[in-house]
């Protein structure tokens, strides 16, 4: 699985003008499933994201996790994270899981995150979404699990 984390002061996702997910301070996680991914990778990803120490402690050092600071997690599916840009000017997306598998793994990520963390919001799989965020730092962290 591929994820891109952005530490945010706030974030929301809209579909057709309707807010479908919103958080204040926390993490926006853009997530993409790849063809060889399983629910085990989804579990490992959620565990990593919730424990990753990228929030400041009292000394200003990145030493606190999302769970430590009690922030929100906004999860948005984004198959374009698997873009292959090595040839030509049009990216290829064959590295992303097929839609049915991608949706199943996205739903697994959401279920696992909601089992482990009290504040989880989500986008809508396959929808045309507008994602609004205020990146805090900015801090942006890529994660690839293979």
Catalytic residues: 78-80
Give the whole-angstrom CA distance, residue 33 versus residue 41: 9
Give the whole-angstrom CA distance, residue 50 versus residue 43: 11
Report CA-CA distances (Å) from 9 to 44, 74, 103.
25, 12, 28
Q: Tokens standing for 10?
A: 């706030």
């Amino acid at each position: 699985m591929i994820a891109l984390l952005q530490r945010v002061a706030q974030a929301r996702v809209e579909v057709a003008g309707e807010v479908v997910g919103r958080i204040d301070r926390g993490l926006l996680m853009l997530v993409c499933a790849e063809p060889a991914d399983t629910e085990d990778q989804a579990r490992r990803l959620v565990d990593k994201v919730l424990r990753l120490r990228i929030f400041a402690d009292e000394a200003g050092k990145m030493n606190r996790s999302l769970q430590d600071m009690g922030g929100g997690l906004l999860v948005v599916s984004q198959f374009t994270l698997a873009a292959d840009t090595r040839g030509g000017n049009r990216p290829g997306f064959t590295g992303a899981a097929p839609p049915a598998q991608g949706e199943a793994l996205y739903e697994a990520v959401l279920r696992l995150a909601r089992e482990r963390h009290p504040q989880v919001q989500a986008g809508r799989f396959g929808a045309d979404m507008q994602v609004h965020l205020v990146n805090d730092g900015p801090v942006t962290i890529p994660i690839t699990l293979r």
